[in-house]
Chain A
Amino acid sequence: MDDRMELYLAVAARSFRRATTYRSAYLAGIITNAFFGALVCFVYQALYAGGGRVAGLSLNDAISYAWTTQSLISIGGAWIVSAGISQSIRSGDVITDLSRPWSFYLYWLSRSFGERAFNLLVRGALTYLVGVLYFGARLPAPADLLAFLPAIILAMQVSFAFSFMVNLTAFWLLDSTGVTLLSNVMLTFLSGFILPVAFFPPALQALVHALPFESITGLPTQIFLGQLAPAQIARALATQAAWAAALTALGLAMQAAAMRKVVVQGG
């Protein structure tokens, strides 16, 4: 780790501010997320026509879940949110970033955290508000919000470490769009973004619990909605922390391997 905390904070702050300037982009983003949230709700309303609970979830649980995951898209909850690393590898700009006197990993992590903090506080919150106003999505209890804070920070760490690794494959493959696509498939489906994991068949649930993706979306969502007991929350946070550490270590190892064989394109 580096002791240039101030520097990374400045990078994050700039990234946060940059995100605020694309007003029409994030407005379009909110409309998109809300549109899909609404579509999912219409389907749930038809599916729950008979009332009751399915897999332990009521209609309101399912609707609140859908709006929470829609709100987490812009922080990487559904698919990899481009951080620009793979473009910089393709263009050759990466060599400039690598030769700067700071940690390459922490530089991109700070950039990503700055942007995602904005996305969570503005894009995510406004999207969820639409769900609350028009579909009765549940407002979280203060205690759940408190537990959500560390959960979402850990989720962003896991999400960043994973996308960092996917981006770094560009060093070997030159074009990482194929890998990105496959990673997005896993992320969308196995994170609990598209459906609550409780709806999955048992074998698929076991697979989801064994993989890191649930730490990005499913676990923070369940904490946000108060669907976990205190002991389960503690276990969820520990799982997230373990995946954050493991994937960060893997990402750094990958970076070290990439440095040994770096071929810079362009000039």
Chain B
Amino acid sequence: MIQLYLTLIGARVRSQMQYRVSFWLELLGFLLVTGLEFATIAILLGRFGSVGGWGLAEVALLYGLTSFAFSLAEMVGRGFDSPFERMMVMGAFDGVLARPLGAFFQVLTADFQLRRLGRTAQAALVLAYAFSQIPIVWTPDRLLLLPVTVLSGFLIYLALIVIGATFCFWTTTTPEVINVFTFGGEQMASYPLSIYQEWLRAVFLFLIPVGFSNYPAALYLLGRADPHGLPAWSAWLAPLAAAVFFGAALRFWRFGVSTYASTGS
């Protein structure tokens, strides 16, 4: 399966490299677009000083963690965006169901956007800035928490992409919904979770657990206390939240597939 995944993804990457100028422009574009996300935060904090008691370097840590995870999910999961939408509109999803491979696997391999490394690079730069400004004592548990958090965040964002795409089974075409989930989650998580009202904090921890992509981990790394009493050790619950959420997304997807009614002729 992994062999097959790599073969299919390799073909995607090679075909994208045919439009070489466009590829590099887009990679640069993603670096810039996402760079402007952080520039926006920097401009706001330059004017206001801090948000919810968090300064620029600390918000950079939040932003870098969530943006890094999001970039990986976008690179891997974009098959669920326009390629899947095209399948739905053209009725080509019929063909997917007829092949001896899972629908999830086939849609997943319908695209792989290497150019999203532009965002990965930008997130890494923001993280480097954050770590250079904040004196974090790098104990083994803190070092371990970094990849654990990023991988959990990646799974959570991938699950969001899948959930957004699943709505296509009923609406045929709604890529904008994916944006609400993914970009909305990412934008929400770019600021400390503590600034939101209680019900929103609950939603982003326990319903759509994007909050786990960075906030508890940042508390843990910075040795900060949450004003609403969220314990820092909850950072270690991120993989659990991610696994449960991804499992739920998969089930929702399977339910969507089972209700599929073709548009094709």
Contacts and interface: CB of A to CB of B under 8 A. Distances in A.
A104 interface: no
A245 interface: no
A39 B32 contact: no
Contacts, number: 92
A47 interface: yes
B51 A178 contact: no
B184 A39 contact: yes
B40 A181 contact: no
B22 A178 contact: yes
Given A54-B47, A179-B25, A31 B180 contact: yes
B30 A181 contact: yes
B26 A181 contact: yes
Given A32-B176, A35-B184, A195-B40, A42 B19 contact: no
Contact of B180 (A25, A35, A45, A194): A35
Nearest to B172: A24
Contact of B51 (A28, A46, A176, A177): A46
Interface string A15-57: 0000000001100110110011001001101111100001100
B55 to A, nearest CB: 13
B10 interface: no
A173 to B, nearest CB: 7
Given A35-B180, A46-B51, A54-B47, A188 B25 contact: no
B196 interface: yes
A267 interface: no
A173 B196 CA distance: 45
Interface in B148-206: 171, 173-174, 176-177, 179-180, 183-184, 187-188, 191, 195-197, 200
A135 interface: no
B212 to A, nearest CB: 18
A178 B32 CA distance: 12
Interface in B216-252: none
A43 B196 CA distance: 8
Contacts of A174: 19
Nearest to A43: B191
Interface residues of B, number: 38
A70 B43 CA distance: 19
Contacts of A200: 43
Contact of A32 (B19, B25, B179, B188): B179
B43 A199 contact: yes
B26 A43 contact: no
B29 interface: yes
A201 B46 contact: yes
Contacts of B180: 31-32, 35-36
Interface in B28-76: 28-30, 32-33, 36, 39-40, 43-44, 46-48, 51-52
B36 A178 contact: no
Interface in A175-213: 175-179, 181-182, 184-185, 188-189, 194-195, 199-201, 204
A42 B200 CA distance: 10
Nearest to B30: A181
Nearest to B191: A43
A178 to B, nearest CB: 3
Nearest to A204: B43
Q: Give the most central of A35, A47, A201: most B CB within 10 Å.
A: A47
B174 A177 contact: no
Given A25-B173, A28-B176, A194-B40, A39 B21 contact: no
Given A43-B191, A173-B21, A175-B19, A29 B176 contact: yes
Contacts of B174: 24-25, 28
A54 B117 CA distance: 36
Nearest to B24: A178
Given A185-B33, A188-B36, A178 B21 contact: yes
A49 to B, nearest CB: 8
A185 B26 CA distance: 11
Task: Enumerate the 4 nearest inter-chain pairs by beta-carbon distance, A residue then B residue, closest first.
Answer: A178-B25, A181-B29, A46-B195, A178-B22
